[in-house]
Amino acid sequence: MKRIISTMYKSKTRLLVFSLTLVLSITVLNGCGQRQTFAEYCNSVFIDEISANTINLHYTIENPKEYGIKKYNISLGSYSSEDSRLAMDELKNMKLELLTYPYTSLSTEEQLTYDILCDYLDTQLQLCSFSLYEDPLSFSNGMQMQLPILLAEYEFNSKQDIKDYLELITLVDEYIDDIIEFEKDKSEAGLFMSDELCGRVIDSCEAFLENQDEHYMLTTFENRLASLDLSEKDVNTYIKTNETVFKEQIVPAYEMLIEELTGLLGTGKNDGGVCNLPDGKKYYELLVYSETGCDDSVEDIYTRIEQQRRKDLLVCADLQETNPTIIEQCSYLEWEIPDEDEMLSLLQTEMLNDFPECPATTYTIRYVDPALEDYLAPAFYIVAPIDNYTDNTIYVNDANNSSDIYFFTTLAHEGYPGHLYQTVMSYEYEMMPIRSILNYSGYVEGWATYIEMMSYYYSNLNDDVAAMLSHNQSASLSLYASSDIGLHYLGWDENDMYEFWSSYGITDKDTIHEITQLILAEPGNYLKYYVGYIEFLELRDYAKNTFGKEYSTIEFHRAVLDIGPAPFFIIKDYLEEYYSPQT
């Protein structure tokens, strides 16, 4: 059977503000000695947590004063082994406090939040024991790449925002120092990355340091100042301050990071997956649950991925049998929309048969700096603040930009009805604020992947061609998901990878090596996309069986968006309560 499985799937993403671990000590009494309600308690946790990191605060809330946040310390937070050790006791205390609220007295929305918080705290508590197994640095999506983008996108709505920003960037060198010490701790524990992965992180840092006189952290700063009514004197002062901090603190910090990482070359003891580390399988099991929100065993997940791949390939085979020219039609596809706005406009129109209408929103498409094109995903969406989700930003990597169908599906993944739409709808349905800081990647990336596969049918392609491309793309992504488990749980090496991929017609050793390194760099990464995707497929089937004649695709999507990001077993438990039967 001929296949058109693609040879590379570099993951798309929703660029989150730094992932949060709740490390709080919260009182359940208010100033008068009266017990807080559950909603008040959740809001106090949210405010305390979000105030602890200025980037998180800025990206999550546009108007902090409306949430009672009048004063806050400027901080990037910290990253250290000691932080993780302290977090465990504080997470335990928070769980004990949460359990003091009578579950039956809570509203449905509060019970949902309660269940999600319990799950989140339990998962984070277990992961605390494996803090050194995590790595803030990776060559495609690490801190060294995300932090500059988040700073470059830091909007200025007032002079105070500018002052906060200028103070914030003075802390980058201290934050990178923390990262360096953390990497040294990993090295001493025998948990440091391989030389090849380290070399690629170093390359990404060197790319960041290119073109310093016209660096995007300088040019974007000047552009953002233009949005405010400032005197020429103030503008010049701000520009000079930003340039000084960039050249005298940020650049040296990245140079130091390169130097220290270079010094750690040779200390990594594992060129393979995390299963080769002490208790590595246990860590991977926890990581897979945390990343996917699926509570199946890793073995069962592996089987489910295989089963879905067989279904997709069977559809492709049937299409080839009924339409012998389908491969040629897909290979020489005559489809082109030259403009991103036209693509997103088409998506917003075509999606209305399957999804609730989105409230009025705007978006800006921006392009990744050329120096970073080789190191960032094809596109990513920057999450909008909860109190102003009408303005959104999608970044496009121009190295991957084109007018073809794959770019169209990428914009569906990031925009409508993908990340942008899902974020806006979750906020529109008034999800409790605390949930905006809980990272359920399996839901958000699974949703966007589910959308990506559906979007082929929104492109006005021939139905057979759309089906072939969609099922082929699903099968392609499944290979990465199987490889993730193979490398990190089953102990595959590159020879095993070659044997696996060549059985699907991919035999180029350089390509397979590149895929191997992508997966080794970020354990569990591809699973949040693919396992999340098949969870949505199975959840939709469950809804069809449960609601029968009362089933509506629009209503199904509305219900899961209303429930919002959560583990999939919780979503399933609440689906009937959130679903409005159609008559």
DSSP string spanning 203-215?
A: HHHHHHTSSGGG-
Q: Give yes or no for residue 368 having a pLDDT over 80.
A: no
Q: What is the pLDDT of residues 314-357, one digit of tens each?
A: 999 999 999 999 999 998 888 888 888 899 999 999 999 999 99
**What pLDDT sits at residue 397?**
80
The sign of the CA dihedral 397, 400, 406, 407 is positive
- pLDDT digit string (tens) for 435-448? 999 999 999 999 99
Q: List, as one string, the DSSP characters of 518-564.
A: HHHHSTTHHHHHHHHHHHHHHHHHHHHHHHGGG--HHHHHHHHHHH-
**Closest C-alpha among 273, 312, 279 to residue 530:** 312
The pLDDT of 367-376, averaged and rounded, is 72
Whether the per-residue pLDDT at 190 is higher than 80: the answer is: yes
State yes or no: pLDDT of 6 exceeds 50: no
**Which pLDDT score, from 0 to 100, does residue 34 have?**
65
Model confidence pLDDT, tens digit, residues 377-396: 778 888 889 998 988 989 88
> Residue 82: which pLDDT band, with cuts at 50, 70 and 90?
confident
> Given the structure tokens 């009362």, which residue do they identify?
550
CA 481 to chain CA centroid, nearest Å:
16
Q: Is the model's pLDDT at 96 over the cut of 90?
A: yes
> 196: buried, middle or exposed (CB in 10 Å: 19+, 13-18, 0-12)?
middle
Q: 248: left (phi > 0), else alpha (psi -120 to 50), else beta?
A: alpha
Is residue 399 very low, low, confident or very high in pLDDT (cuts 50, 70, 90)? low
* Sheet bearing 362-367, strands edge to edge: 13-15, 379-382, 391-396, 362-367
CB 561 within 8 A of CB 422: yes
Between 246 and 52, the more confident residue is 246
Q: Are 581 and 548 in contact (CB under 8 A)?
A: no
The residue-averaged pLDDT of 4-28 equals: 43
Between 83 and 483, the more confident residue is 483
Q: How confident is the model at residue 371 (pLDDT cuts 50, 70, 90)?
A: low
Residue for token digits 């604020």?
A: 433
Percentage of the chain exceeding pLDDT 70 = 92
pLDDT of residue 335: 87
The answer, yes or no, to whether residue 16 has pLDDT greater than 70, is no
Q: Residue 23 pLDDT more than 80?
A: no
Among 142-156, 344-358, 481-495, 549-563, name the one with the lowest average pLDDT. 142-156
122: left (phi > 0), else alpha (psi -120 to 50), else beta?
A: alpha
ω into 417 cis (within 30 of 0): yes
pLDDT per residue as tens digits for the range 500-526: 999 999 999 999 999 999 999 999 999
The predicted model gives 107-133 an average pLDDT of 95
Residue 517: the pLDDT is 96
pLDDT of residue 383: 86
- Share of residues in the chain with pLDDT > 90 (%): 75
φ/ψ of residue 293, rounded to 5 = 75, 15
**The pLDDT value given to residue 27:** 38
Is-above-0.85 flag for pTM? yes
The mean pLDDT of 101-105, rounded to a whole number, is: 96
Q: How long a stretch of residues is the chain?
A: 583
Question: In this structure, are strands 13-15 and 379-382 parallel, antiparallel, or unpaired?
Answer: parallel
- Whether the per-residue pLDDT at 403 is higher than 80: the answer is no
Please tell me the chain's helix, strand, coil percentages from 3-state DSSP, rounded to the nearest 5.
Answer: 65, 5, 30
The Cα 478–Cα 468 span in angstroms is 15
Q: CB neighbours (10 Å) of residue 302?
A: 19
Residue 253: name the closest of 201, 175, 368, 138 by CA. 175
| Cβ 320 vs Cβ 1: under 8 Å | yes
Q: pLDDT, tens digit, for every residue of 412-430?
A: 999 999 999 999 999 999 8
